[in-house]
């Protein structure tokens, strides 16, 4: 079985201080959403100077990637910002950078390692920066599900499709079986391709993206979709349900986007007359169908940028991005879709102290928290990623809208 490793070094004084501050990495940490009422206070301003100095000392040897959901205190040091796949491609386009520091979560750093050369080292400042959705699809569970499909005689007609937000092991599983990776922007194209290869799709790990794409963009019905629960025998489904299904959806979801409800949409429409509701396709089906516009993170950003002054927008995605958009567009009324202030707790683990520690260790010649995908897993995962890149129109994915 494939796997992913990380390189550990003797903790420095800074690393010890992080642990004492409660900011050390702990793989058993709850990975999901937190609703503290507000974001954590920014780090000590002195750390800004240290981060800038370390980055300057490394020069072209380091390339820092920042996901849109990262804190402002971290994103200011990113050479490129974007969604997970854009950042992985940006890393691959920088072969001269010896170190890729990925300010995001674990599966993103894995993808960067898969797409970069063996000479490059990918660093994740905090190993506990995971993804609750990616954690919901474990290789052993997915292999067991495939065994169920094989016993029913339907595995050969089933094409596995995995969302970018999945582990390297799951991408490798999909690549071994001739499947494809997708993003929230190109999910329809990936599914169109999959249905040209077979009559069924096993969609991993986000049930909502799979359901929303199949029903709202491809004309399938909700009855064509079944939900496979890996914690129940045969996924909690009958043989007839699995044989009849077009979309076999994995029971996984984003802990942040899954918080938004139909009540959230109705409430904001009552409070803010004329508000436009703009949500990510990882949201629940009833939220997506009630929204005005639905699209990827990049689509959300471009929509807000192009919106007229004075317009009001309730955005259903991660809080850091919503707040950044609100600050960047003071001429528009931009708000979080839910009344509760929630952010992705694992994205927020990459704070300025962790970034400073990682950069200063690199300056000292010590590579910390290196993410390495084993060659066999990487080869098959790369095949699934390459298949995505080969999809028609892969360079210009259109957003979806209601």
pLDDT tens readout for residues 148-166: 999 999 999 999 999 999 9
Domain shared by 117 and 165, yes or no:
no
> CA 28, CA 276: separation in Å to the nearest integer?
39
List the one residue out of 298, 332, 289 whose CA is nearest residue 317: 298
> Across-strand partners of 101?
64, 123
Tell whether the model's pLDDT for residue 101 goes beyond 60: yes
Tell whether the model's pLDDT for residue 399 goes beyond 90: no
Angle between helices 352-363 and 46-58 (to 10 degrees): 40
- Check which CATH number belongs to the domain holding 119 and give it: 3.40.50.10800
Domain shared by 358 and 295, yes or no:
no
Q: How far is CA 59 from the centre of its chain?
A: 28
Provide the pLDDT for residue 234.
Answer: 96
Is the bond preceding 317 in cis, omega lying within 30 degrees of 0?
no
> CA 294, CA 316: separation in Å to the nearest integer?
9
Domain shared by 144 and 242, yes or no:
yes
Q: How many domains does the chain have?
A: 3
> CA 108, CA 87: separation in Å to the nearest integer?
8
Question: In terms of residue numbers, what domain contains 185?
Answer: 134-253
Asked whether residue 357 is domain-assigned, the answer is yes
> Across-strand partners of 362?
none
> Across-strand partners of 400?
294
Average pLDDT over residues 190-217: 97
Name which of 35-39, 83-87, 119-123, 216-220 the model is least confident about.
35-39
Domain shared by 85 and 106, yes or no:
yes
Domain shared by 141 and 234, yes or no:
yes
Asked whether residue 7 is domain-assigned, the answer is no
Tell whether the model's pLDDT for residue 43 goes beyond 80: no
> CA 317, CA 56: separation in Å to the nearest integer?
33
Asked whether residue 144 is domain-assigned, the answer is yes
CA atoms within 13 A on the CB side of 193: 21
What is the DSSP secondary structure assignment for residue 102, as one 8-state letter? E
Higher pLDDT, residue 6 or 216: 216
Provide the pLDDT for residue 41.
Answer: 55
Asked whether residue 396 is domain-assigned, the answer is no
Asked whether residue 94 is domain-assigned, the answer is yes
Give percent of the chain with pLDDT exceeding 70: 86
The beta strand positions in 298-395, using DSSP E, are 312-316, 333-336, 343-344, 370-373
122 touches 370 (CB < 8 A): yes
Domain shared by 213 and 233, yes or no:
yes
pLDDT tens readout for residues 26-38: 333 334 444 344 5
Q: Both tokens of residue 328?
A: 């960047």
In which residue are the tokens 């009422």 written?
37
> CA 286, CA 172: separation in Å to the nearest integer?
32
Q: How far, in Å, are 83, 190, 335 from residue 275 at the CA level?
A: 26, 32, 10
Domain shared by 351 and 302, yes or no:
no
Asked whether residue 293 is domain-assigned, the answer is yes
Domain shared by 95 and 190, yes or no:
no
What pTM does this model have? 0.85
Name which of 62-66, 83-87, 244-248, 390-394 the model is least confident about.
390-394
Backbone conformation region of residue 219, classed left if phi is above 0, alpha if psi is from -120 to 50, else beta? left
Provide the pLDDT for residue 368.
Answer: 95
159 touches 201 (CB < 8 A): yes
List the one residue out of 240, 274, 255 whose CA is nearest residue 317: 255
> CA 400, CA 98: separation in Å to the nearest integer?
37
Domain shared by 189 and 199, yes or no:
yes
Complete DSSP assignment for 121-159: EEE-S-TT---HHHHTS-HHHHHHHHHHHHHTT-GGGEE
Average pLDDT over residues 22-50: 54
Domain shared by 247 and 275, yes or no:
no
Which residues does 387 contact at the CB level (< 8 Å), separation at least 6? 175, 179, 180, 181, 193
Asked whether residue 395 is domain-assigned, the answer is no
> Exposure pattern of 302-325 as b/e (b: 16+ CB <10 Å)?
ebbeebeeeebbbbbbbbbbbbbb
> CA 289, CA 136: separation in Å to the nearest integer?
25
Per-residue pLDDT band at 312 (split at 50, 70, 90): very high
Name which of 63-77, 278-292, 315-329, 335-349 the model is least confident about.
335-349
Asked whether residue 391 is domain-assigned, the answer is no
Which residues does 148 contact at the CB level (< 8 Å), separation at least 6? 234, 235, 242
Tell whether the model's pLDDT for residue 21 goes beyond 50: no
Per-residue pLDDT band at 394 (split at 50, 70, 90): low
Residue list for the binding site for iminosuccinate: 67, 84, 163-165, 184, 280-282, 297
Per-residue pLDDT band at 42 (split at 50, 70, 90): low
Q: How far, in Å, are 239, 285, 339, 374 from residue 261 at the CA level?
A: 32, 9, 11, 40
> CA 71, CA 23: separation in Å to the nearest integer?
15
Residue list for the binding site: 67, 84, 131, 163-165, 184, 254, 280-282, 297, 344
Average pLDDT over residues 125-129: 91
Provide the pLDDT for residue 2.
Answer: 44
Domain shared by 199 and 307, yes or no:
no
Per-residue pLDDT band at 108 (split at 50, 70, 90): very high
Residue list for the binding site for [4Fe-4S] cluster: 131, 254, 344
pLDDT tens readout for residues 276-290: 999 999 999 999 999
Q: Both tokens of residue 30?
A: 């709850």
Domain shared by 122 and 62, yes or no:
yes
Torsion of CA 362, 367, 372, 375, to 10 degrees: 100
Average pLDDT over residues 358-381: 96
Tell whether the model's pLDDT for residue 114 goes beyond 90: yes
Complete DSSP assignment for 270-284: HHSTTPEEEE-TTS-
Tell whether the model's pLDDT for residue 322 goes beyond 60: yes
């Amino acid at each position: 079985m494939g796997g992913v490793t990380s390189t550990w070094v003797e903790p420095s004084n800074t690393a010890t201080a992080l642990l004492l501050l409660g900011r050390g990495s702990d793989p058993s940490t709850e990975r999901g959403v937190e609703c503290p009422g507000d974001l954590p206070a920014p780090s000590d301003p002195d750390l800004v100077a240290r981060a800038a100095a370390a980055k300057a000392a490394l020069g072209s040897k380091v390339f820092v990637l920042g996901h849109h959901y990262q804190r402002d205190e971290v994103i200011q040091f990113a050479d490129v910002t974007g969604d997970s796949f854009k950042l992985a491609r940006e890393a691959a386009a920088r072969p001269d950078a010896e170190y890729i520091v990925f300010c995001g979560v674990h599966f993103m750093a894995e993808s960067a390692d898969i797409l970069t050369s063996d000479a490059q080292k990918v660093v994740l400042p905090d190993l506990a920066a995971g993804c609750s959705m990616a954690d919901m699809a474990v290789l052993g569970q997915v292999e067991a599900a495939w065994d169920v499909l094989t016993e029913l005689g339907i595995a050969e007609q089933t094409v596995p499709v995995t969302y970018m937000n999945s582990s390297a092991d799951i991408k490798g599983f999909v690549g071994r079986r001739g499947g494809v990776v997708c993003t929230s922007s190109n999910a329809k194209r990936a599914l169109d391709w999959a249905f040209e290869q077979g009559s069924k799709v096993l969609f991993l790990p986000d049930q909502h993206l799979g359901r929303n794409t199949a029903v709202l963009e491809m004309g399938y019905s909700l009855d064509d979709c079944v939900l496979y629960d890996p914690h129940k025998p045969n996924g909690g489904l009958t043989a007839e349900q699995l044989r009849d299904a077009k979309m076999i959806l994995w029971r996984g979801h984003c802990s942040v986007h899954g918080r938004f409800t139909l009540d959230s949409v109705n409430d904001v429409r009552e409070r803010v007359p004329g508000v436009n509701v703009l949500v990510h396709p990882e949201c629940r089906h009833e939220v997506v169908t009630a929204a005005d516009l639905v699209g990827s993170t990049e689509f959300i950003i471009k929509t807000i940028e192009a919106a007229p002054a004075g317009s009001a927008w309730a955005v259903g995605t991660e809080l850091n991005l919503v707040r950044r958009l609100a600050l960047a567009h003071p001429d528009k009324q931009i708000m979080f879709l839910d009344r509760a202030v929630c952010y992705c707790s694992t994205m927020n683990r990459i704070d300025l102290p962790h970034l400073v520690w990682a950069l200063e260790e690199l300056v000292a010649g010590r590579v910390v928290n290196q993410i390495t995908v084993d060659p066999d897993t990487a080869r098959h995962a790369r095949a699934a990623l390459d298949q995505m890149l080969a999809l028609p129109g892969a360079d210009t994915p259109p957003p979806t809208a209601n």
